[in-house]
Structure formats: C-alpha cells, structure tokens
Amino acid sequence: MEIAVISGKGGTGKSSISAAFATMQPNVVLTDCDVDAANLYILFNPTHEKEEVFVSAYKAVIDKTVCTDCGECIDYCRFDAIHDVGGEVLIDETACDGCKLCARVCPSEAISMIPEDKSRMYSGTFRNGKMVYGRLSPGEENSGRLVDMVREEAKNVAKANNLDTIIIDGPPGIGCSVISTITGVNKVVIVTEPTLSGLHDLKRTIEVVSKFRLTKRLLSINTI
C-alpha cells in the first residue's frame, strides 16, 4: 500500500506527519518526494546504499574557438536564448530550454549540450525500514520526473525486501511534482492549518485529488 501525505501549502506540518507515520510500525519504505526541499533524511539519517545521478535537462554551450558567429542558431532558437552581442553570438543560460535544436543546425558544430546532472536520488536504510529520497539541485528542473524516479525505486525496494507499506512525503502545492506523487497511490492524507490561506489551498488540493478517485483523509494541525 502506498500512502501519500501532501499539503496545499508549505509549513503545515506535512513532513512531521510523514515522519510520525514512518515510526508507527517497523518495516516500511519511507519515501521523500519533496525533492525541492527534502528534509526527512536529516531527521532519520539513513545509510546511503545507492546513489543515482538524475539528469534534469541540458544546456547549450558554445565553443568560441570553433564558432564563426554566423548567427544561424539565433534564427532557429524559439526561446530567445541566443543573441548577437557586439558581433559575438552568446547563449543566455537561464533562457535556454535545452531543446538541442541550435546544436543540430550549427554549421560549424560549435554548440554542444551539457547535462545538468547535480541532482541525485538516494536509497538506503533507516531505523524503521528502508528510505528513498531525491534532492533536486538548485537551478535544475523537472522535479516531476525526479519524483517518478524516486517512486519507482521505492517500489523496487519494497518488492525486494518484501515490505507492504510505502509512506510518501509529497511536495506542497498542486503542481506537476504533486501529480507525480499521488498518481497510482492507494490513499492520500492532506495536511492543512487553520488559516485563510491554508483553507484556500486545501480546497484546491482536494479538487486535484478528487480527479484521481482516491481515498483521502483531511488532517488539520493547529500551528498558531
């Protein structure tokens, strides 16, 4: 059984609830899918039996020793990431979407694609079973894909160790990483707080979860 703990906003106590669930019984797989701000590993200090690189995207880089500054890549870029600055072709790393088109059309083959590979997925053991979590490096993207990777590893770990329960600490909000967290789970626990913003975000979260026809539980924590 997979139980996902989520919240419409941050700071509601979602990770505390996930940690409490993980200590209620032995032999669980604790999964931290809040990859933008994973913190359960700090609390439980798991071993690192497996570490896997997550390539979140690619960025275009120009080799200026080969580039002729012809500007053809500028005409093809649909993200306005390549510019002619004083006769020199330069790439805006922030605007680059990593589509690889500029590298394909460059007549001088001066553009290469560099992987963004500082993000990681970890798998190991903590005092109540196994733990899997992901950490998305600052500035890197595709948190939903990393969540998918973490969840798949958690399922493999559960199967390999004959464990029946997977506790998932999901990210806050209703974005793609939350969708990746709750897709296919058995139950969802939504954690909120007694504030106007908490109530507003709770309603949005319930609306999203309702699309998945999941069994859900609402849990309010008074943090005031």
Q: Which residues pair with 59 in a beta bridge?
A: 114
Kindly report, residue by residue over 61-85, the tens digit of the pLDDT: 999 999 999 999 999 999 999 999 9
Is the confidence at residue 21, as pLDDT, over 90? yes
Q: How many domains does the chain have?
A: 2
Give the mean model confidence (pLDDT) for residues 147-175.
96
Same domain, 66 and 137: no
Same domain, 141 and 35: yes
Same domain, 62 and 111: yes
Same domain, 7 and 43: yes
Q: How far apart are CA 201 and CA 134, in angstroms?
A: 25
CB 6 within 8 A of CB 172: yes
Same domain, 110 and 133: no
Same domain, 75 and 15: no
Q: How far apart are CA 173 and CA 167, in angstroms?
A: 18
Burial class (CB in 10 A: 0-12, 13-18, 19+), 110: buried
What's the domain range around 185? 2-54+118-220
Q: How far apart are CA 192 and CA 188, in angstroms?
A: 13
Last residue of a domain, one of 116, 132, 154: 116
Q: How far apart are CA 122 and CA 130, in angstroms?
A: 11
CATH number for position 144: 3.40.50.300
Same domain, 136 and 172: yes
pTM for the whole structure: 0.82
Give the mean model confidence (pLDDT) for residues 7-23.
92
Same domain, 44 and 82: no
Same domain, 200 and 98: no
Same domain, 104 and 192: no
Q: From its phi and psi, is residue 12 left (phi > 0), alpha (psi between -120 and 50) or beta?
A: alpha
Is the confidence at residue 224, as pLDDT, over 50? no
Last residue of a domain, one of 76, 100, 116: 116
Same domain, 88 and 134: no
Alpha-carbon distances of 219 from 49, 59, 83, 173, 186, rounded to whole Å: 34, 42, 51, 16, 17
Kindly report, residue by residue over 126-146, the tens digit of the pLDDT: 999 999 999 999 878 889 999
CB 125 within 8 A of CB 93: no
Question: Which residue has 């059984």 as its token pair?
Answer: 1
Last residue of a domain, one of 87, 116, 145: 116
Give the mean model confidence (pLDDT) for residues 167-193.
93
Give the mean model confidence (pLDDT) for residues 150-158.
97
Same domain, 103 and 144: no
CATH number for position 90: 3.30.70.20
